[in-house]
A = this chain, B = another copy of it.
Amino acid sequence: MPDTPRRADRLPGNRYGNRPTMKDVAARAGVGLKTVSRVVNGEPGVTPETERRVQEAIDALGFRRNDSARVLRKGRTASIGLVLEDLADPFYGPLSRAVEEVARSHGALLINGSSAEDPDREQELVLALCARRVDGLVVIPAGDDHRYLEPELKAGVATVFVDRPAGRIDADVVLSDNYGGARDGVAHLIAHGHRRIGFIGDMPRIHTAAERLRGYRAAMEDAGIAVEDSWMSLGVTDPERVRRAAEDMLAGPSPVTAIFTGNNRVTVTVIRVLAEHDRGVALVGFDDIELADLLQPGVTVVAQDAAALGRTAAERLFRQLDGSLLAPDRIELPTKLVTRGSGELPPAD
């Protein structure tokens, strides 16, 4: 192990714990402050010899430019904020990564936070990001009223909403075709002979959940099927209650022969429930899940492209920042039905 200083050796120091500033570098190199700034920023007008001396001082002192001061002076932070629901959800990982890649290609860093589906926490996070003066925001909203963002928008913070639209303000939004995807998924079940089809989804106050429910209803109506209340479970989300909801549907007076699940977490739970049943109940889920192809039967899903959502939103964000974008717009990305077996099972009765 080389002789790095142990932590105890570090001086208590002032503020950033004793970081050298340009002034220190200038003193050591025997040049003016501004010359150091020029070298650090690669500006022209410095003799090679001077530059060498400055570079030497920088290395010797371990100087690193303080971007906070830079931001204060220049007004751009080269960072964007991403507020999503839960980074641990496999749906958001790729989305976040896609946003990061676009940011990176524009030289920006990504600050992100999880709202945990709590509107207050969303607002708190967004405002904290604004206080840091992020150049732009990508928001997957938890709340449905975003008027608190008005001053920020007015001040020029670029903003794009993803996955769900903004509430009560006019802003860019990038969505999946939740309605169409759900409708197609349910229609797929109907095409395979099902008529008693259950729907288990999240609270309809969440936009995506409402749209998917609407798609379910539309498909059923198109087929002339009257939906019974006992076929629908809205707003349950924790595994235990989803499990009970699924079991109720399967055991009710007119048991369903197929289930359409409204998001990946519900799908996983329902797969568990169906695995315990011997009757072949058909299943189509919204959102793809890993290993879905390896289950018996494979799980048919309506897949949305999380990375594409993130990429599209981030690109739009940077176009706002370029100033090349004017009117807020709504972009809808298509979903894809991936058939793997569970959605093609015939009705059991």
Residues of A that sit less than 8 Å from B by CB: 1-2, 4-8, 10, 13-19, 61-69, 71-72, 74-75, 77, 79, 86-90, 92-94, 96-97, 100, 104, 109-114, 127-133, 147, 150-157, 168-170, 268, 271-272, 275, 289-292, 294-296, 307, 320, 325-328
In contact, B156 and A62 (Cβ under 8 angstroms): no
Tell me the minimal C-beta distance from A110 to chain B in angstroms. 7
Q: Which chain B residue lies CB-closest to A121?
A: B104
In contact, B72 and A5 (Cβ under 8 angstroms): no
Q: Assuming the A-B contacts A153-B5, A295-B291, A320-B7, are A100 and B87 also in contact, with contact meaning beta carbons closer than 8 angstroms in the complex?
A: yes
Docked complex Cα distance between A110 and B114 (Å): 10
Tell me the minimal C-beta distance from A189 to chain B in angstroms. 21
| Residues from chain B with Cβ under 8 Å of A96 in the complex | 87-88
Q: From B63, B127, B147, give the contact of A2 (CB < 8 A).
A: B147
In contact, A132 and B93 (Cβ under 8 angstroms): no
Docked complex Cα distance between A8 and B72 (Å): 26
In contact, B62 and A155 (Cβ under 8 angstroms): yes
Q: From B4, B100, B156, B271, give the contact of A169 (CB < 8 A).
A: B4
Interface-central residue, A1, A5, A7, by most chain B CB under 10 Å:
A7
Oligomeric state, in copies: 2
Which 3 A/B pairs are nearest by Cβ-Cβ distance?
Answer: A62-B151, A17-B156, A15-B75
- Between A and B, 21 residue pairs with Cβ closer than 8 Å are A1-B170, A7-B328, A13-B155, A17-B155, A62-B152, A64-B155, A65-B131, A66-B131, A68-B68, A68-B72, A69-B72, A79-B111, A79-B132, A88-B93, A109-B113, A109-B128, A109-B129, A271-B291, A291-B292, A295-B295, A296-B296
Q: Assuming the A-B contacts A110-B112, A289-B290, are A67 and B132 also in contact, with contact meaning beta carbons closer than 8 angstroms in the complex?
A: yes
Tell me the minimal C-beta distance from A183 to chain B in angstroms. 26
In contact, A113 and B93 (Cβ under 8 angstroms): no
In contact, A150 and B62 (Cβ under 8 angstroms): yes
In contact, A6 and B170 (Cβ under 8 angstroms): yes
Query: Can you add 17 more A-B contacts, CB < 8 Å, to A7-B327, A79-B111?
Result: A2-B147, A6-B170, A15-B75, A16-B155, A17-B155, A17-B156, A18-B155, A63-B151, A64-B151, A90-B290, A109-B129, A111-B111, A275-B294, A289-B290, A291-B292, A291-B295, A295-B295
| Residues from chain B with Cβ under 8 Å of A86 in the complex | 97
Docked complex Cα distance between A97 and B67 (Å): 26
Q: From B61, B131, B170, give the contact of A4 (CB < 8 A).
A: B170
Q: Which chain B residue lies CB-closest to A168?
A: B2
Docked complex Cα distance between A17 and B136 (Å): 12
In contact, A109 and B109 (Cβ under 8 angstroms): no
Tell me the minimal C-beta distance from A134 to chain B in angstroms. 10
